[in-house]
């Protein structure tokens, strides 16, 4: 992120442009500039808005909400739960792939890069878009949640028949932002090792999301990965 304006895909800039001028966002930019002077921040600046840049506003079909980026080196690249090619799968991502296998009989992927999902219309959005290296949750409550809440609200207001996958209590607390007369919300425990056996395994959200899309005349997601 630079000192002037963040680079974000045109359709999102149209619906969220006013957010960049708000006092909270200016304070967030100042916070990030100060952080970068004293610590490593993930993901790289060019990938902070990768979820938006990969999946334009008008092409969103499914929304998966994470909490904040991975905080280890080489992991975060702007898409929630995703890691770049060649990076070891974090435990939550391993569990997502196990559920995918069970649900749709999809082979376990060789790469944890979820960009193919994003390119088909799966918005892989973290509520907080940056993090200090090796300090989970370190950029929470600095303004990012206000920005990403605005994105969710705009989708709720201006789109129809989106499928929101809310995994864990943090994500489920965002349900109040969604117009349930216009959209679909699927809820399950978080795929982390601490909660995956409480109902994430067996939730079959991938097939359920596709069924909802097809029922509304929308092309389903090909959840398979290389």
Catalytic residue positions, numbered: 68
Q: How far is Cα 135 from Cα 148, in angstroms, rounded to an integer?
A: 21
Q: How far is Cα 149 from Cα 176, in angstroms, rounded to an integer?
A: 10
Q: How far is Cα 157 from Cα 3, in angstroms, rounded to an integer?
A: 30
Max Cα–Cα distance, the chain, nearest Å: 51
* Helix 144-158 / helix 23-38 crossing angle, nearest 10 deg: 130
Give yes or no for a cis peptide into 43 (omega within 30° of 0): yes
74: which 2 tokens?
Answer: 């080489």
Q: How far is Cα 158 from Cα 91, in angstroms, rounded to an integer?
A: 35
State the sign of the Cα–Cα–Cα–Cα dihedral 177, 182, 188, 190: negative
Q: What is the C-alpha R_g of the chain?
A: 17
DSSP 168: S
33: which 2 tokens?
Answer: 């500039």
């Amino acid at each position: 992120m630079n000192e002037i304006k963040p680079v974000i895909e045109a359709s999102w800039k149209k619906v969220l442009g006013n957010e960049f001028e708000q006092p909270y966002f200016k304070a967030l930019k100042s916070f990030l500039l100060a952080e970068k002077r004293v610590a490593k921040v993930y993901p790289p600046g060019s990938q902070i808005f990768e979820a938006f840049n990969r999946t334009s506003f008008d092409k969103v079909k499914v929304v998966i909400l994470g909490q904040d980026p991975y905080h280890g080196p080489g992991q975060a690249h702007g898409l929630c739960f995703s890691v770049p090619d060649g990076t070891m799968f974090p435990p939550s991502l391993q569990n997502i792939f196990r559920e995918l296998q069970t649900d749709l009989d999809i082979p376990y992927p060789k790469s944890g890069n979820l960009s193919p999902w994003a390119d088909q219309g799966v918005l892989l959005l973290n509520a907080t878009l940056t993090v200090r290296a090796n300090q989970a949750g370190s950029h929470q409550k600095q303004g990012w949640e206000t920005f990403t809440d605005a994105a969710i609200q705009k989708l709720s207001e201006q789109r129809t028949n989106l499928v929101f996958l809310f995994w864990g209590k943090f994500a489920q607390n965002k349900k109040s932002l969604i117009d349930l007369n216009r959209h679909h919300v699927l809820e399950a425990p978080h795929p982390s090792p601490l909660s995956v056996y409480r109902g994430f395994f067996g939730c079959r959200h991938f097939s359920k999301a596709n069924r909802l899309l097809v029922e509304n005349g929308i092309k389903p997601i090909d959840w398979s990965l290389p």
